[in-house]
Structure 1
Amino acid sequence: MSIPPITPFPSGERSSLGRPFLWQSDAPLPERPQAALNVGAHMWIPNQYACDTIALDDDPELLRARIRDWWGITDDVSARKTVGLLLDGMHSATFEVIAPLVAEATNRSPGHDPEVHREFLAARAAARGESPGYWISHYNALYNLRTAKILRNTVSDRHFPTHIRAWDLGRLPFVVRTCLSSGFLEVDECWPMLFAALDSARSYYANWRQFAHGVVIGRAYWSALTDIGKAGDAAQVAGNWVNALLVRSDSPWRRMPLWPEEEPQRRVP
């Protein structure tokens, strides 16, 4: 399988590439816990979370306000539900249905017109008791993202993914860590959640570079759902995050690969 190219975005003093990764302990974590935390590593720089601990030093009240405002999480039930949705593919599950249609439309394949696709999605949603508007709006967001050439050509064409599992799995550690320090989750249930995300990431990706590709596309798609005009900036911000992880010597991704060294790298479609 070809690996999508990752080209560093220009970085200045305010770029994520200039911020240090935080490490709290001189003794490294065992491989599996550290790899599980690394699944969410692209969110450690912007939030200044340490890379090698599940605990957070931030004020619990501040964390509760953050997780409520950003995720709508207010208690243990909503915390567990959100984690479950991320493991199931909160955004990727929809993406995986519409991405092949958008690919055919952008390639101008015979019989694959955007209006035909919208009619199909509306009929599909109605038959399943779902909102046609939901599916059409997601289709439009991805179609606009690809046809507007907001992303690099190498990403929008030959290397465009069929799923964005990295975007969902990569946000799970942030939710788990924040909910733990907010008092919504217990530590003995958090590690199984993190390990589940790690195992899922390993089933979809061979290495961090492929995982990074999913993060960038996922964030651009997520932004396009609300404002296509901001999708390019969203992709660039995510690009800064993952490039820091891919090139910096203090990066958790550089210190530990997605797969243990002794295990073969693989990808399950």
Structure 2
Amino acid sequence: MDENAQHWLHALSAPMAALNGASYTAPDYHEDEDRTDLERWWGIANRAQLLDMLGMADNGHASELSEAYWQFQRCLPSQWQALLERLPLRERTKHEYAARTFPDCGPGGTRAWDLGRMSFLLRAGVKKGFVTPEESLYLHHRLALRARHYYNNWNSYLAGYLFGKALWNVADSSDETLAAHLERQGSEHWNRCILLNIRLGADPLLASLAWDMPLPEPQRPSSLQEDCWS
């Protein structure tokens, strides 16, 4: 796999790199000193735990809104309104959030929030020696297949990540305050930092990495067990 294709794969975690001052394209998330504490924040202390966590790419936080995005793009306006009226307050708020964000992220919804974080875990795992660079590339390619299935360009992918992060940020809100807290996420400090750093540091890179550029599938390393997520 050539260098540009590898850069494309590693750029799946670009929003997290923008937030934390990490590399957008290196196999290691941090090229110099390892500043990630996977055990504290993720409960990951070894290879098996990291590989197990990758299942979140399919069954992570995005599942919370997947039905809402699915219904919004298929319902007539009258059907959508009728659906909202039947839902309890919290679910109605989340469905309304999906409707507002759909024009920017499309049917992929917030799945990029999970895909981007799994890319980060793989790159951090390379740094810690939990996975090899070859294993990371192969598993990154599997993330890329999902990203391209759900999104049509980098902008919709990045939007999906930010919308997912915003929902995660307010997950502890009460049913009554969830809507108001979601409305304020556009001005939340760290969300604004991600957007600014992407604009200043990642936009030229992503513009050079066409969303549909060829990404040859790496050979599956024999070191990955058959039941490993992929």
TM-score where L is the length of structure 1 = 0.61
Residue 208 of structure 2 is matched in structure 1 by 255
In 2, the alpha carbon distance for the partners of 1:102 and 1:235 equals 22
Aligned CA distance change for structure 1 residues 249 and 238 (closer, same or farther; 3 Å): closer
Tell me the CA shift for residue 183 of structure 1.
2.6
In 1, the alpha carbon distance for the partners of 2:135 and 2:19 equals 26
Alignment check: 8 A CA contact 1:36 1:194 kept: yes
- Corresponding residue pairs, total: 201
Tell me the CA shift for residue 83 of structure 1.
1.6
Residue 222 of structure 2 is matched in structure 1 by none
Residue 95 of structure 1 is matched in structure 2 by 65
Work out the percentage of aligned pairs sharing the same amino acid: 17
Residue 70 of structure 1 is matched in structure 2 by 41
TM-score where L is the length of structure 2 = 0.70
Tell me the CA shift for residue 100 of structure 1.
5.1
Task: Give the aligned residue type for 2:206.
Answer: W
1:222 to 165, 168, 171: 168
Tell me the CA shift for residue 193 of structure 1.
1.3
Alignment check: 8 A CA contact 1:169 1:197 kept: yes
Tell me the CA shift for residue 241 of structure 1.
2.2
In 2, the alpha carbon distance for the partners of 1:102 and 1:250 equals 30
Tell me the CA shift for residue 255 of structure 1.
2.6
Alignment check: 8 A CA contact 1:36 1:195 kept: yes
Correspondence 1:143 to 2:114: no
1:190 to 124, 136, 141: 136
Tell me the CA shift for residue 172 of structure 1.
1.7
Alignment check: 8 A CA contact 1:42 1:241 kept: yes
2:6 to 33, 53, 61: 33
In 2, the alpha carbon distance for the partners of 1:239 and 1:222 equals 16
Task: Give the aligned residue type for 1:257.
Answer: A
Alignment check: 8 A CA contact 2:13 2:24 kept: no
Correspondence 1:155 to 2:100: yes
Cα RMSD, aligned residues only: 3.5
SS at match of 1:259: coil
Q: List alignment gaps of at least 5 residues for structure 2.
A: 215-230
Alignment check: 8 A CA contact 1:209 1:246 kept: no
Aligned CA distance change for structure 1 residues 83 and 144 (closer, same or farther; 3 Å): same
1:207-253 per-position Cα deviation (integer Å, ceiling 9, x unaligned): 11111221121112222322346545544443552464357576421
Q: List alignment gaps of at least 5 residues for structure 1.
A: 1-28, 116-138, 262-269
In 2, the alpha carbon distance for the partners of 1:57 and 1:248 equals 16
Tell me the CA shift for residue 143 of structure 1.
3.4
SS at match of 2:54: helix
Aligned CA distance change for structure 1 residues 190 and 248 (closer, same or farther; 3 Å): closer
Which of the two has greater helix per residue?
2
1:19-43 per-position Cα deviation (integer Å, ceiling 9, x unaligned): xxxxxxxxxx622101101111111
Task: Give the aligned residue type for 1:206.
Answer: N
Larger radius of gyration: 1
Residue 201 of structure 1 is matched in structure 2 by 147
